[in-house]
Structure 1
Amino acid sequence: MSDVITYRYPVPSVLHTGAAPGLFLAGYSEIEKTTAPSFFQGTLEQPYITACCLITLANVVRSGFTLTPAQAAFTKDPIVTAGASKLRFEGFSQCAGVYGRVDVLPGGHNGSFPANGTVNVDFNQPMINALGAIGRNDTMQLTVGAREISLQDQEGGMVTEKKVPLPIKWIKGLTTVQLFLAASDLRYTFNKVQLRQLFQGLPNGTVKADYYLMVRNNKPVLSPVKNAQAICIGGVHRLRLLEPLLPLADELQVFAHPDMQSTTWQLVFGNVRFSLSLSREAWRGFSGEGAALDALIADVPDHLIAALDKYGYANQEFNATLLAIKEQVSFEQIDQLTARLAAMGLLGYDPDNNLYFYRRLPFKLNRILSLNPRMKEAEQLLAEDKVAIISQQHDKVEARVAGSGVTHTVTVDGDNARCTCTWFARHQGERGPCKHILAVRKKAN
């Protein structure tokens, strides 16, 4: 499979000048959920802050913490979703280890949402220049359409955007990071003073060792020394992406995955949020994680997936627990459904209010489901009848899986699983299950 998808935009992006200047960004989608001409039309109530957040998102997209400068210069585009009276702009770093999102909440805009939808748009230096020209007292009009975004400001100039390729790992990261967000909990909330203290303690340069976030005497502290209550942060230098926004922020919320596989740092600006999620290590991107694999094991009926897909599109966001109670569906089945749709890229997650939001990715769903080679290899093991269940009692399973000149032993006990293969020995399950465990789980189910 090729490692890029080339998007061919129908028209170039252009910045018009004159009495009603506007930046019109060409968009592209392989599928269309709606034929509505636009998803949002209106003005932004915090245009300067929103512009600063979008510029920071562009910096995230341009960054690459495991890439050469030449590779990092190969910029990508954000995904824009309009729905539930909210605007969301999402993007990944080049290494796919940093995920950024700008959320414009109700009260952060004054406009209408004729329809709900998602569009992928051109987003590079000419647009950054246009956003950078927006002052504290300027206005910004925004239109998010099915094929373009228009940004109207008070400055002139003209810019033409060209089509760009979209890496497969970017799509995989987008589907994986939501599962980490859904499992994360709010650990700290810092005010402006604490926020300044925290970032003053950031170490200089590139940091390879783990750092830990803790609070001492009501002061946030970053330390290379582990503490039982501390949050583990890999590649803490990546937090410097947030520095341009610090003087504007009201507070910082820090979310952590229970197994410390990711941390999320959310800056609050009234009705605008900027979230930065970091993978466990700087060298390991979200696209390489195995979080989505477990969600793809269970045989979830297609009609249930289709039903939740329609529910998500109609309601745009929902609380999974409340949905299970309302529809009298088991929590386990709702978890399987939401995890499956998140793994398909249809659901994003807001950790600050425990809500899933619906996103129609501009990619074909069957392509997203085919992006997990370990799952495909597990299916092949089953097709070739190389998996033998030795014993099975409730959630405890022991099996043998034939490999290349060796037979692997797999034991599964509820959520815990072990395998004698080299993949498991190297990663101990921290990067998702190996193909042998996947095959055994699927056969046992």
Structure 2
Amino acid sequence: MASSTAAAGAAQSYTYTRPSGLDGGLLGLSTSGGTTSGGPRAHPHFFSGVLTRPAPAAAALLGLADVARTRYFQPRPTAFRDPVVTCSGDRLRLESFSACGGVYARLDVLEAAMDGEVHDRGTTNVDVNGPLREALARVGGSDPLHLAVGADELAVTTMDGAVVEKKVPLPDRWLRGFAEVQVITAGFDPRGELAAADAVRFLRSMPRAPRGALWAVPAGRTLRLTSRPSPGAVCLAGPERLRTMLPLLRFATALRVYGPPAGAQSGPMSSVWELELPGMRYVLTLSPGHGRGFSGEGAVLDALSTDEAAADADLIGALLSFEPRVEPDLLAERSGLTPARTKAALTQLGTSGRVGFDTAEAAYFHRELPYDPARVADLNPRLRAARALVEAGAVRLTSGDTAVVLSNEQERRVRFMEGHATCTCPWWYDHRGERGPCKHVLAAGIVRREPGAAAAGAEAAR
């Protein structure tokens, strides 16, 4: 796969040996370039066998494709953005992101729903096109659906030589969203579970028109929507963003909801909504606002700002091998790092697309997104600005927990206390840390961790 990565308007180019299609009971998903356990491959072949639950699998794949081509704050279809597929041996994970960057979708096809041969492990893109989408909408019944994710080299050489090339705009916020989601959801806990019948009633009763943030509060066997947060509540910002779950309700066995701790004064938050299907999980992660993407949440900035985490990430990354679950304790033992440094390294790996997070199993998983990891830091303007402040010698520590940062000829005062930081700048006043640290807090944090950085910056400034 070739890619063009020029700033905010980057486009991703995909090359497939043929279009994906559904023909005679065979669902053939064509692969573009990707990473396997044996290294890079132009057209990896991961799986061939059957989907034992064809109707829910087809409906969930259709939902995944619909998320990828939707801009929720401007409800109109956009170009297809091909899903990312990871084969981890006992499961297939298919991931996509909405065009607006505010909804992350994942379909986990687990061992109970697939029967066949795993040819390799790794990550790639798969082609999704209009005819395939129409064919998926017609799948029904209980007959097994044959599935091939990629084709072996012999099959490729016997094709007619036709090559499918697609160039799709992938804004930088798309990549940044992938990084933010895994960091944000790693701190979530289960907040509610509804049985099938209760899940159907709840999801079908949601308001259809776009509204502000609502809150789902556990109430007996169901969830009750309110306009005010409360302890134990889960934010539901833009309930219409769950609509791709509605066609799946006839297959659902449960609905689970995950979120961070909430209180009576909480502002809008992200949330995870997981629909359990026979042998599968269809997961939607929603940003804190209907028109708000994940790329601006800033959850990864602290991790990106440390050189130590970057070095540790190289070590931990070398130990990954497309496991369905990444075990931090085992990685810490094998690497010799402390659990805290191992966790920071996993966060760093997430920012480059090398790990995701599964709230159902409360575990990281290994995958390799087809993007250049070196781009990630450049995609965060606050981090770039913070490093520029440090290099300009604009940070002065006044004590162990306070700093003054000169920015745009104004002094901003930063204070660190009990794991949190405050700043006197307008950004902090507007967001109070809910969208990650401001550039002043990041710059002060860099100098606190690396005292030599301030001296080097001041010398450079002179």
TM-score (norm 1): 0.88
10-19 vs 426-435, greater mean Cα deviation: 10-19
Query: 2:259 matched to 1:256?
Result: yes
Q: Trace 1:284-299 onto structure 2 (pairs within 5 A).
A: 284-299=292-307
The residue aligned with 1:153 is: none
Q: Trace 1:145-294 onto structure 2 (pairs within 5 A).
A: 145=150, 162-208=166-212, 210-258=213-261, 261-294=269-302
Taking a change above 3 Å as real, the CA distance of residues 206 and 161 of structure 1, as seen in their structure-2 partners, is farther
The residue aligned with 2:424 is: 420
Distance in 1, Cα, partners of 2:123 & 2:151: 7
Taking a change above 3 Å as real, the CA distance of residues 111 and 34 of structure 1, as seen in their structure-2 partners, is farther
Distance in 1, Cα, partners of 2:448 & 2:391: 14
Q: Could you report, residue by residue, the CA deviation over 1:322-341 in whole angstroms, capped at 9, with x for unpaired residues? A: 54467664221122111111
The residue aligned with 1:308 is: 316
Q: List runs of 5+ in structure 2 lacking aligned partners.
A: 1-5, 156-161, 263-267, 450-462
Deviation at 1:146, TM superposition (A): 8.9
Q: List runs of 5+ in structure 1 lacking aligned partners.
A: 151-157
The residue aligned with 2:457 is: none
Q: Could you report, residue by residue, the CA deviation over 1:105-154 in whole angstroms, capped at 9, with x for unpaired residues? A: 11221122232211123323222112223222333222323999x9xxxx
Aligned partner letter, 1:80? V
Deviation at 1:428, TM superposition (A): 1.1
The residue aligned with 1:155 is: none
Q: Work out which of the residue numbers 376, 379, 399 in structure 2 matches 1:371.
A: 379
Distance in 1, Cα, partners of 2:398 & 2:418: 16
Deviation at 1:248, TM superposition (A): 0.8
76-85 vs 211-220, greater mean Cα deviation: 211-220
TM-score (norm 2): 0.85
Q: Work out which of the residue numbers 17, 22, 30 in structure 2 matches 1:25.
A: 30
Taking a change above 3 Å as real, the CA distance of residues 435 and 146 of structure 1, as seen in their structure-2 partners, is farther
Q: Trace 1:384-423 onto structure 2 (pairs within 5 A).
A: 384-392=392-400, 397-423=401-427
In 1, are the aligned partners of 2:46 and 2:121 still within 8 Å (CA)? yes
Distance in 2, Cα, partners of 1:87 & 1:364: 23
SS in 1 for 2:364: strand
Q: Work out which of the residue numbers 391, 394, 413 in structure 2 matches 1:383.
A: 391
The residue aligned with 1:78 is: 83
Taking a change above 3 Å as real, the CA distance of residues 24 and 186 of structure 1, as seen in their structure-2 partners, is closer
Query: 2:112 matched to 1:107?
Result: yes
In 1, are the aligned partners of 2:234 and 2:257 still within 8 Å (CA)? no
SS in 1 for 2:13: coil
Pairs aligned (count): 430
CA RMSD of aligned residues (A): 2.8
Query: 2:50 matched to 1:43?
Result: yes
In 2, are the aligned partners of 1:183 and 1:258 still within 8 Å (CA)? no
In 1, are the aligned partners of 2:274 and 2:281 still within 8 Å (CA)? yes
Aligned partner letter, 1:229? G
Distance in 2, Cα, partners of 1:147 & 1:288: 41
SS in 2 for 1:228: coil
In 2, are the aligned partners of 1:126 and 1:159 still within 8 Å (CA)? no
Taking a change above 3 Å as real, the CA distance of residues 420 and 225 of structure 1, as seen in their structure-2 partners, is closer
SS in 2 for 1:370: helix
SS in 2 for 1:313: coil
